[in-house]
Structure 1
Amino acid sequence: MVVTPSHQYPLGASMPAARRLELLGWARAHGALVVEDDYDSELRYVGEPLPALAALDRAPGADDGGHVATLGSFTKVLAPGLGVGYLLPPPALREELLRLRTDLGNPASAVAQDALARFLAAGGLRRHTARMRREYRRRRDLLAAALAGTAGVRAVPMDGGLHAVLEFTGEVPLEEQDVVDRAAAAGVRVAALGTYWAEGSRGSRRGVVVGFGASGDAAGDDALPDALEVLAGVLARPSGTA
């Protein structure tokens, strides 16, 4: 089973600690392996960090700790061009995976790996992540404030991540693709929430997904306020109006 307990995309839900323990209990009872995609775990803005499934699986008093493999990447938290990720497998799978990795070759630069190891050892990642959380919390709050009171739109609460979901409440006739197209014509890219439903099982929730991770240019100017002003104008005009 593959799960993203820290941050489900796009609606942003986090798996509660009790539910994580329940999932581990199921895995132990059935001899199953849970693959934990540690997506956006470092970008949590509300409350205390939740324990990783792998940490719970290997906690004192647990059984053999062989039911969770954790995947992660430094690409999002540091730089897209870094190309370095990690896999923390159960002890019983480690040797087999190392042999497989050797057979497949190593696509990650040894220089990048060495630099990253030094950066981690010096505490650079902790400091960088703390700065990121402050900045992205500011952007999230800016988005919520800019679109507060927009008729027919509800900002889905997000505890972390680099995006927000604006759900259409039905009070104002807004069509997803129309909003996406009008925003794009004005220079702002958003995605239709409906495109994230599995084919053949579209749910009733409608809205758009708005990212705020990359909102500056090379000079460091923050383009987010202007983009939000444009988006607010698009949402203020019902679909089907001239």
Structure 2
Amino acid sequence: MSDEKSWKEKALEAIAILKKISQPPLQYATLLNIHPENDTVDIALPSGNTFVVYYDTRLKNKLKPGQTVQLSPETYAVVGIGGDIQNRSATIVKDILDDGRVKIDFQGKDRVIHSVVDGLKIGDSVIVDNSYSIILENIGNTTKAYKIDKVPKVPWSAIGGLEKTIEEIQDAIELPFVHKEIYSKFPNKKPVKGVLLYGPPGCGKTMLGKAIAYNLALRQKEQNGGSLNGHFLYVAGPEFLQKFVGVGE
């Protein structure tokens, strides 16, 4: 009799295991808002679609906006907290609305989403969930699109090995700047608007840029006096791409 009972118990355990592993897997979503008055929450699926669903009341004091929650595959109710949604994205805060929602850059377009972060400012870099529905973390304004430095003394004589390049830069930029009156007599001969310096790191591009700023300021002082100083403007190249196509991952 005991052997028969043992066999039946093992059979029931095996059936329970088979039933469990044959069920559809749990789905995951991001929790946006909680409505305790009717035991519902707003969620966002990885696809970006949002829904209002019920949650297990045993989770009532544990749920927080921004959490990854587990959904029942049958009812879509929230039945657990945590899960493996690893994809996170970075974007830029473009505006903060009066109702607390935030306008962000989403693939080059504006998008208004929720936030669990206080103290956001326009221009801050933020981390959002993979559906771009809620801000999870504020990185802050960690990068600048540009930086202005006072130029050190970099006379042309301090640069060696680039004589031909220096001569071309002087002809294209320095001479039209210093001798404006001569160029004004030749309306068909307009000075160039700039030059493009390219090459591998360490070939002298930045040094030449600083030399241009320093020597133009020096020539201006010689002609007009005063205390004009040269400045060098660094611009982060990726910011141009971000402006037109959005933040890259």
TM-score range, shorter chain: under 0.3
Relative to its length, the structure with more strand (as a share) is 2
TM-score (ref. length: structure 2): 0.19
Relative to its length, the structure with more helix (as a share) is 1
TM-score (ref. length: structure 1): 0.19
